[in-house]
């Protein structure tokens, strides 16, 4: 076999694996309530872990593609840091179940990273699956408004811990149940509507976006996820604003929005400075955010300074102040729902995570995939009040949006590539306008 043909086959295989992994994670998590309930009652619990098995293949692909073949120092350092953090988390949390859960928790990161240098728009079948997820997620929320689904309150065992699908929460202003649709959690039901709409909207007309954006907003209102509602409404507004711009300026605007969205990282710290110590009155509009300000975003650092002072710099390991600690550790009494991706990840990885995010920000200047830039905005805004490590698809989407950090393109090339380099953006001779209406579908 000719070497060039062999290399092409390797490339084709590598392109498909991460798409398959994202697809099976999406099916499992967006329909988590359905999947967990029926796999349990049919004694097919092993099917729940199929995405994790595919993610293991992506881990191997990440090592081969970025460390062995491309000899990326950053990829090696990131892999080493994650593995060392899992070991540190084992000593911190004190049980093998916690370590196994932490390893499983981090697997989706490698799936997302494998999308480096690839346009999400080139995965036609995956985009169709994401669009179907959007429609079905909306339908699921609407159905649960009128029918009680069998998986609500269903309890299942995972790594020896009992967990519950379809948790019920009090919602301000009413005693209504927070609807979770086909997912196992109302916040995640809203998240999948948000993400699948954002990805699907890029190739759709303005009329479609106005119509289905309005339906999506109504469905998110039913889930009572205020964060998702704000982000979805803000995204729809920005999408319309970008489409008003001349087409030559649209991509630059999208990249600018993605870059500015990193300012959302500072929002919790500003809130702490402004409102820390303000008494949170139960059953009021501000109770949720004030509870985060006073407890969720500060108490973990107080506990960490008591348990492991050095962890304020090095982090306390993967799974620390995350669900592995809550479910599998003797330190469960110290667990606090962190409710912010950047704070939660810093607690686990420390200052190395800060250095990594500086590189992610730098890489965004050179990013040419409109899908990844769109997702950067969405996840940066969404994770202000959500940790987003569970279900796994949440972390996978974040890693996907960060994946260009491993690209060989230098940030400086972005300033010489023009406002919208078509061949760099989508590749494979496919044409996509940047948030443009009436776009031709790829062949």
For 362, the token pair is: 């730098």
Rounded to whole angstroms, how far apart are CA atoms 269 and 315?
19
Distance, in Å, from the CA atom of 395 to the CA atom of 80, rounded to the nearest integer, reads: 19
Q: Which residues, 6+ apart, have CB-to-CB distance to 62 below 8 Å?
A: 75, 79, 110, 113, 114
pLDDT along the chain (443 residues), means of 10: 43 68 96 86 88 97 96 97 97 95 97 96 96 97 85 58 44 55 88 98 96 97 94 98 96 97 97 89 82 94 96 96 94 95 98 98 96 98 94 96 88 43 35 42 34
* pLDDT on residue 37: 84
Q: What is the pLDDT of residue 155?
A: 57
Task: Return the structure tokens found at 263.
Answer: 């300012």
* Burial (Cβ within 10 Å: 0-12, 13-18, ≥19) of residue 252: middle
Cα–Cα nearest to 166, from 283, 329, 341, 35: 35
- C-alpha span between 258 and 267 (Å, rounded): 16
HSE-CB of 410 using CA atoms within 13 angstroms? 4
Vertex 291 angle, CA 288 and 296, to 5° = 115
Q: DSSP letter string over 16-32?
A: HHHHHHHHHHHHHHHTH
Distance of CA 236 to the CA centre of its chain: 19
Question: From CA 262, how far away is CA 368, in angstroms rounded?
Answer: 17
Which one, of 363, 34, 80, lies nearest residue 180 by Cα? 34
% helix / strand / coil in the chain, to the nearest 5? Answer: 70, 0, 30
Query: Tell me, what's the pLDDT at 198?
Result: 98
Indicate yes or no: pTM above 0.75: yes
| Model pLDDT, residue 45 | 84
**Strands 155-158 and 161-164, how do they pair?**
antiparallel
Would you call the peptide bond into 166 cis, given omega within 30 degrees of 0 as the criterion? no
Residue among 60, 70, 72 at smallest CA distance from 110: 60
Q: What is the pLDDT of residue 248?
A: 94
pLDDT score at 158: 54
How is residue 171 annotated by DSSP? B
Beta bridge partners of 343: none
Cβ 370 vs Cβ 435: under 8 Å? yes
Q: Say how many C-beta atoms besides its own lie within 10 A of residue 132's C-beta.
A: 15
Question: Whose CA is closest to 166, among 192, 187, 146, 137?
Answer: 187
- Give the rounded distance of the alpha carbon of 195 from its chain centre: 9
The string of DSSP codes covering 362-382 is: HHHTT---HHHHHHHHHHHHH
SS3 call for 4:
helix
């Amino acid at each position: 076999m000719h070497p060039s043909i062999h290399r092409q086959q390797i490339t084709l295989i590598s392109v498909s694996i991460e798409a398959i992994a994202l697809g099976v994670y999406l099916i499992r998590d967006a329909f988590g309530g359905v999947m967990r309930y029926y796999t349990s009652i049919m004694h097919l619990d092993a099917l729940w872990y199929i995405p994790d098995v595919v993610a293991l293949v992506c881990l191997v692909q990440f090592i081969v593609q970025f460390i062995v073949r491309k000899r990326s120092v950053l990829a090696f350092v990131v892999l080493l840091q994650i593995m060392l953090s899992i070991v540190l988390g084992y000593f911190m949390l004190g049980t093998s179940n916690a370590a196994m859960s932490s390893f499983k928790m981090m697997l989706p990161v490698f799936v997302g990273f494998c999308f480096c240098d690839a346009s999400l728009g080139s995965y036609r079948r995956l985009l169709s699956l994401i669009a179907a997820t959007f429609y079905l997620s909306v339908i699921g929320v609407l159905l649960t408004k009128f029918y009680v689904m069998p998986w609500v309150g269903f309890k299942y065992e995972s790594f020896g811990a009992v967990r519950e699908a379809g948790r019920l929460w009090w919602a301000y202003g009413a005693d209504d149940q927070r609807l979770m649709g086909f997912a196992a959690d109302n916040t995640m039901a809203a998240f999948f509507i948000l993400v699948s709409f954002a990805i699907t909207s890029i190739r759709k007309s303005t009329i479609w976006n106005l119509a289905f954006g309005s339906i999506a907003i109504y469905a998110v209102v039913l889930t009572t996820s205020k964060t998702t509602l704000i982000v979805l409404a803000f995204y729809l507004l920005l999408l319309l604003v970008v489409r008003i711009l001349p087409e030559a300026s649209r991509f630059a605007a999208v990249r600018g929005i993605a870059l500015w969205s990193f300012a959302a990282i500072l929002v919790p710290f500003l809130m702490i400075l402004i409102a820390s110590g303000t008494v949170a009155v139960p059953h009021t509009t501000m109770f949720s955010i004030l509870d985060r300000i006073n407890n969720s975003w500060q108490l973990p650092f107080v506990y960490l300074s008591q348990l492991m002072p050095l962890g304020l710099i090095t982090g306390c390991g993967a799974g620390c102040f995350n669900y592995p600690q809550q479910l599998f550790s003797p330190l469960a009494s110290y667990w606090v729902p962190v409710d912010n991706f950047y704070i939660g990840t810093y607690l686990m990885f420390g200052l190395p995570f800060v250095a990594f995010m500086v590189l992610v920000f730098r890489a965004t200047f050179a990013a040419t995939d409109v899908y990844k830039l769109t997702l950067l905005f969405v996840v940066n805004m969404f994770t202000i009040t959500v940790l987003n490590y569970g279900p796994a698809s949440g972390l996978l989407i974040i890693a996907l949006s960060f994946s260009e950090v491993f690209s060989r393109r230098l940030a400086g090339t972005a300033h010489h590539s023009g406002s919208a380099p078509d061949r760099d953006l989508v590749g494979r001779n496919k044409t996509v306008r940047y948030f443009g209406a009436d776009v031709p579908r790829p062949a």
